[in-house]
Amino acid sequence: MLDDFLKRYARPNLRGAAEVERCFRVDVRPRIGKKLVHDLRRRDIVELLDAIEDRGAPVQADRVLAHVRKALNWHAARDDQFNSPVVRSMARTKPKERERKRVLDDQEIRDLYAALAALHGTTAVPKCFAPFVRFLLLSAQRLRMASNMTWAEIDGDDWIVPEHRHKGKGKGDFVLPLTDGLLALIRPRGKGFVFTSDGGKTSFKGFSKAKAALDAKLVEIRKAASRKPMQPWVFHDLRRTARSLMSRAGVAPDHAERTLAHVIGGVRGVYDRHQYADEKRDVLEKLGALVERILRPDEAVLRFPKGRKKR
């Protein structure tokens, strides 16, 4: 049933089909994949969600619930004998609790870069991990869109993301100009996937293990500097952090939203098909410059020459 749902509905219709497939592979199939769909009971769903929540991921449990609910409802519409066991009140969090507001402050950004530098070249994380995390912050793009970037999508200094790979469905390809700083993170040019640990054959997917190593290094760095431990954070918080930094850098809100691949609503969103390439490049250059100033606060201070002593 899950295979059928992915083939006939998710892949042709859902922008996040890859994430749905990953969710089924990691969480759903190992626990209930061998059950006949007609034997599936409400208790099976509850135990599936319990297992995810027990590992400290209640929000992920709700994401799994949403994907499973959609698949079962899709199947129910095609099978006279099937009723979905998913019912209301199965969610583990409230909408307000799922709404994240986490933004990394300047010191946290400095510590993040220090931790990435300390891990780079070690066996704790793949070689592509540190550039990838920096790319997320400096490009302000979504995790999966960036991790699945291919060299075929890079045209000169433009990253052209096909419509089926981003959330602006019906808006055509998304074009993001790559600044010198971003290009430096992905050189040298290769084949297949850009962020990879096997020569481009597959995209980097070991997020959980690498993030755990990064968090451990952050604890070590902050403890050595007598700073409080960082509050929990996820990769998507880097995107929110980047958007906040754009405002701090004086970027026009419209240009910032377009850089994040957000769809502009209303009549303008329908009729304005301009790519705003120059404006996006300006946004990312200002973002990169601000991050550089954050990383080197002492160098950002202008030092004026002392006045001459009076004779």
Rounded Cα–Cα distance for residues 12 and 5 (Å): 10
pLDDT tens for the 311 residues of the chain, in order: 999 999 999 988 887 788 899 999 999 999 999 999 999 999 999 999 999 988 878 888 999 999 999 999 999 999 999 999 999 889 888 766 555 788 999 999 999 999 999 999 999 999 999 999 999 999 999 998 999 999 999 999 999 998 888 766 556 889 999 999 999 999 999 999 999 999 999 998 888 899 999 999 999 999 999 999 999 899 999 999 999 999 999 999 999 999 998 865 554 444 344 678 999 999 999 999 999 999 998 775 555 555 544 44
On whether the CB atoms of residues 175 and 159 are closer than 8 A, the answer is: yes
Rounded Cα–Cα distance for residues 72 and 198 (Å): 36
Domains of the chain: 2-95 (1.10.150.130), 106-295 (1.10.443.10)
Other Cβ atoms within 10 Å of 272 Cβ, number: 12
On whether the CB atoms of residues 192 and 201 are closer than 8 A, the answer is: yes
Tokens 């992905």 sit on residue: 186
Evaluate if pTM is beyond 0.75. no
Structure tokens at 32: 């209930």
3 state DSSP class of 154:
strand
Structure tokens at 260: 């994040």
- The DSSP H or E segment spanning 155 is strand 154-155
| Residue 175, strand partner residues | 160
